[in-house]
Structure 1
Amino acid sequence: MPFVFKRDDGSLDGTSKRLMDVLASWLNFTATYSNKASDLEWGKRDENGTWSGILGDVHRGRKHLAVNYLTVTDQRAQDFDYSVSYYNEGFGLALKVPPPLPRWRSLLYPYTSEAWAALVGVVLVVGFTFYLLNLSRSRFSLSKSLMMVMRGMVGQSVQRVPTWWVVRIFLGLWWFSAWVLDISYTSNLIAVLTVPTYPSRIHTIEQLANSGLRLCMLDYGEFVPEALATSSDVILARLGPKLDLVPIMSSLEYNGEEACVERVLAGTHVHTETFSYEQILYIEMGVGEEVYFLKEQLYVGSLAFFFRKNTPWKYKFDAGMRRLVEAGLVHKWYSDIMDEFRRGIRSLIPSLCNSKQALFTLAVQPNPKRPYLNLKDSHKPKSTQVNPIPGNLVSCSGSVSSPEVMLVSSAQTLHYPQVSKIDELQT
């Protein structure tokens, strides 16, 4: 979510799904979707150069195209071809909204701790100065002098005013200053009592790294744990030892994300997950109002479709995707789906394992006489046939370990559309 997911009626939807629907209509192919890899993994390369998970299926030729939440990395670029980017996103950070501070402490909030310390110091200095001024002319003790000064702070009158005009001027100036302080305190106190006061929040990754909070993440094979552990960035390196991985539990509705959510609500952890999916997750679980998300994200990357190395027909996808991105349609689809969740007017089924993760593979063999339709030939009223390869045509994985699979046993014969349809897309 929101790139590939299931609705209540079993139909697939999402930003990537809508993007593929347009490409399928333009290039006239049929897509069949599945939502698990052959080894139930997300996909990473081991020390021997072998890829696992959905990317491994693509790398070994079992699948031909992988889409959904796949970002371009140096390691992936070495072994795969990737399309033009259609969206930029990273891993979000969800924190618990701190509860309001105790109401009795509202009496202290109108001023900061520094202001209170300065005020106490001023009262002591004024009281001691008042005592020295009256030392030779009256019998005001130091305690009585301090009480005289404090009466001005709380708006109480005095029974007897010193007769010496210097002391009277000094006392009058102090009372005027105390009156200004009283007004500012009362005004701030009204504002504090009107709006609940919350402790200061964490707003940056640097503040998070310096805090006592730990990170929590579902262990589905993403690159983030290794990247944090080996990061050369000082701030990110501090987060690596703080990361706690929770195991996948397919028996749970959200496949184990519940464990991280519980830790966030307990105030001990920060939940890291792909930004869009994480927002939807907390909305789906009914605790969206109890958390907030940092504006900063971890490892913001470019989402793209991944192909087998040296795939000759990749440029056809690039051409269509570039037009859809530049037209603003991809962002429009994404915004519509996210708004649907935020309004609560939706009929979505969360995938059993991060439905943001999907595999989309395409197996076609073009006609060797004219393998691909040249866009420059748009004036020629011809269509081009693409011969199929037996096996799966398209497979899309909505989650890594979900048992649901939709496969095609044999590919259908495909035809590119009439050139007039391409003209319409160009228009």
Structure 2
Amino acid sequence: MVGMLGRGVGDIGVANFYITALEGRREFTDYSTPFGQEESCFLLRKEAPSPRWQSLALPFTGDTWLGILVVVSLMGPIFYCLASFSTTRKESLAEHSLVFTSLYTIGVTLRVSRPFLPNHPSLQVFLVFLWLYVIIVTVAYCANLTAFLTVERVPEGITSLQELYNSPLLVYGQGPFFGDNMAEAKNQYVKGLADRFFAMSNIEEIYKKLISGYGVYISSRNHLVYTGSSYASSVGVPTLRIIPECFQPFNVAIGLQSHSPLKRYFDTAVLWLTEGGFLHHWFDETLLQARIYRMSEKETEEEDKNIKGNAKEKEFSGIQKNIALTVEHIQGTFMILGIGCGISYLAFIIECSAVTLLRK
């Protein structure tokens, strides 16, 4: 387009024209009054949601889980020592082993009523405060767990130019313009990304690369917002996202021939449109139309089945407000049960083997 304006083939160039002298553009083209500001950003595939089974551990932080593990480990021995050294009154729990008292306190931690109650006052006070601790911790865990089971968590992923530079992703763009911009950038990470830049003319091929996770697409922010909203699921859930950190802000204008007599007319018209807020209004309308078009394009039988089976998308589209927990939501509990059964079976085999060896 710049070449056509420079050769006199075209009179007006309407696009996201960055006002720049890169590659001698000022010698071949002129620009109208700027109608907006843009910056160069990167678009990439949205990260896959975290596995649902991780939801069981998410209500508490790692430090909290470590504290709970320490408490569970110490309560059994402390309870056993208090029961063993009770002299003022006979303590029935003192007749049992350390393993029994450890299981006793673990049962209390799981809010299970115990068949044996201590007789000694010190043990009774200890047990009261242990129950108070257990009630607070378990209620907090259960209340927080519901939110983590129903809300889909997405990893943060790449958020900065440095992280993008350290990743193996390639950079794709339409034409060489953005590759040349990156090569001349002062930011060392952007300059390093220029070595991984590939110019492609077919936008559909670029998006195939993005969806496959091979690379990122560099363009102006508004262009990426528009195309990113177009490439969404049938209910508007984004499949692509823009990396928050961008670079090289530019003014954007309409391209004209050098010394064009049309410039003063376009300057006046662009100023009217900008001050009236029409550009922002039209851009918002364009985004809405793009979403409607993409949704109508994807209304297939397969998408309908996905909508029925995906509670997250139902909530997003407003079809269903209350979410019923599926097997996917609570898959972690089934995993715990399976692991427990496996450990129990292993302990059973070891026990049988030990008995057999003793008999021999």
Q: Give the alignment partner of residue 109 of structure 2, picking from 130, 143, 153.
A: 153
| In structure 2, distance between residues paired with 1:131 and 1:234 | 63
2:181 matches 1:227: yes
Q: Which amino acid aligns with 2:118?
A: P
- Counterpart contact for 1:83–1:317, Cα < 8 Å: yes
Distance 1:346 1:118, change over 3 A: closer
CA contact (8 A) 1:92 1:293 kept: no
User: Offset of 1:154 from its aligned partner?
Assistant: 1.0
Describe the SS at the equivalent of 2:15: coil
The corresponding residue for 1:188 is 144
Report whether the alignment pairs 1:129 with 2:78.
yes
CA distance in 1, matches of 2:112, 2:49: 33
Structure 1 unaligned blocks of 5 or more: 1-53, 249-254, 348-427
> Once the two structures are superposed, what CA deviation does each residue of 1:189-223 show, in whole Å capped at 9, x if it has no partner?
2222333x32322373347427636144134222x
2:30 partner SS: strand
SS in 2 for 1:273: strand
Which of 98, 111, 124 is matched with 2:60 structurally? 111
Q: 1:185/1:310 Cα in 2 relative to 1: closer, same or farther (>3 Å)? A: same
Question: What is the aligned partner in structure 2 of residue 259 from structure 1?
Answer: 205
Structure 1 partner of 2:337: none
Q: Which residue of 2 aligns with 1:34?
A: none
Identity %: 22
Preserved CA contact (<8 Å) 1:216 1:270: yes
User: 8 Å contact 2:17–2:254 — kept in the other structure?
Assistant: yes
C-alpha distance in structure 1 between counterparts of 2:283 and 2:267, whole Å: 19
Aligned pair 1:72/2:19, yes or no? yes
Distance in 1 between residues matched to 2:41 and 2:181, nearest whole Å = 15
- Distance in 2 separating the partners of 1:212 and 1:62: 43
Alpha-carbon separation, structure 1, partners of 2:159 and 2:270: 34
Q: Which has the higher contact order (CA 8 A, sep 6+)?
A: 1
Deviation at 1:304, TM superposition (A): 0.7
Contact 1:246–1:260 (Cα < 8 Å) also in 2 = no
Matching residue of 2:200: 247
Query: Counterparts of 1:4-403 in structure 2 under 5 Å?
Result: 54-75=1-22, 78-79=26-27, 80-137=29-86, 138=94, 141-195=97-151, 197-202=152-157, 204-206=159-161, 208-209=163-164, 212=167, 214-222=169-177, 224-237=178-191, 239-241=193-195, 243-245=196-198, 247-248=200-201, 255=202, 257-281=203-227, 287=233, 289-294=237-242, 295-311=244-260, 314-344=263-293
SS in 2 for 1:270: strand
AA matched with 1:226: D
Alpha carbons 1:209, 1:238 under 8 Å: kept: no
C-alpha contact (below 8 Å) 2:58/2:145 kept by paired residues: yes
Other structure's SS at 1:299 match: strand
Contact 2:230–2:291 (8 Å) recurs in 1: no
Amino acid paired to 2:200:
P
Q: 1:131 to 1:300 in 2, by over 3 A?
A: farther
Write the distance in 2 (CA, Å) between the matches of 1:274 and 1:343: 23
Structure 2 match to 1:45: none
User: Match for 1:154: what amino acid?
Assistant: L
> In structure 1, what is the Cα distance between the partners aligned to 2:57 and 2:192?
35
Q: Please state which structure has a larger fraction of its residues in helix.
A: 2
Superposition TM-score, scaled by structure 1 size: 0.57
User: Shift in Å at residue 71 of structure 1?
Assistant: 0.8
State the Cα distance separating 1:118 from its structure 2 match.
Answer: 2.5
Deviation at 1:258, TM superposition (A): 3.0
Q: For residues 370-389 of structure 1, give each alpha carbon's deviation from its aligned partner in whole angstroms, at most 9, with x where no partner exists.
A: xxxxxxxxxxxxxxxxxxxx
